[in-house]
Amino acid sequence: MDARRAAILDAIGIDRFVARRGAAGAESAPDPGVAEASSPAPARRRPIRAPAVAMPAVATPAATTVADDVATLDWAQLEGRVAACTRCSLAATRTQTVFGTGDRRARWLLVGEAPGADEDRQGEPFVGRAGQLLNSMLRAAGFERGEVYIANVLKCRPPANRDPGPEEARCCLPYLHRQIALVNPDLVLCLGRIAAQNLLGVDTPLGQLRGRVHRLAPLGTPVVVSYHPAYLLRSPSEKRKSWADLRLALETARGQRA
């Protein structure tokens, strides 16, 4: 195993397998479950073009339709609107809103489900143990945290970290849609079932959403779905699948820049 491949697998906590020598001294075949590394350094952004990926693209409803009162806001206006939002009952229980963080001209935009306790206190998404794992996953893909944009479906923490309710998501989604429109990324990476189902407007299980490229109207922005880092902390055996998702995202993003 070369050093580059080993470093990437170590970064996201995937156990590496060392080739064993047989009786004749020949190395055994490498473990087929270990993904080959491919993590090019981030390139300069280019205009969006038709993708050149092997995976079938799955059409998605017009999930990025933005509420009329949010569709024309700039970054400062949008952040102020979120900070003062009282559209749902979560406004009464939050410490503060969690707007988003990162490069507002990023090639990748990552979507989680909702802030947790750490995020509610600090006002930034993915800052706990799940955030540390996410940072490692991003480095494995060739990015530093500040080179992507990270946001959640919900901008306020649900009490006791429960799942977002349908009405809460409905109230908050226009903010996320506007963030996507303002960033205009090459690719959106959804982290977890709740984020994917709400953004794509479907109730399809996560297992069926993974492994394919979805599209967001009106620009046809490609969306790749993977596991939430918090789930990977509980189920580390799934990290190999998450690396496969990252490879699909990298392939798709390269197609966008071709």
Q: Taking residues 44-55, what's their average pLDDT?
A: 38
For 146-158, write each residue's pLDDT tens digit.
999 999 999 999 9
pLDDT band at 42 (very low <50, low <70, confident <90, very high): very low
The model's pTM is 0.79
CA atoms 72, 74, 77, 79: torsion sign: positive
Contact, 226 vs 236, CB < 8 A?
A: no
User: Domains in the chain, please, with CATH?
Assistant: 3-14+57-257 (3.40.470.10)
- Mean residue pLDDT of the chain comes to 83
Q: Taking residues 37-44, what's their average pLDDT?
A: 41
Q: What is the pLDDT of residue 239?
A: 96
Contacts of 35 (CB under 8 A, 6+ apart): 9, 240, 243, 244, 247
Q: In 10 A of CB 83, how many CB atoms?
A: 12
Q: Taking residues 22-46, what's their average pLDDT?
A: 40
Residue 45 Ramachandran class (φ > 0 left, ψ -120 to 50 alpha, else beta): beta
Is pLDDT at 231 greater than 50 in this prediction? yes
Rounded to a whole number of angstroms, the distance between the first and last alpha carbons of the chain is 30
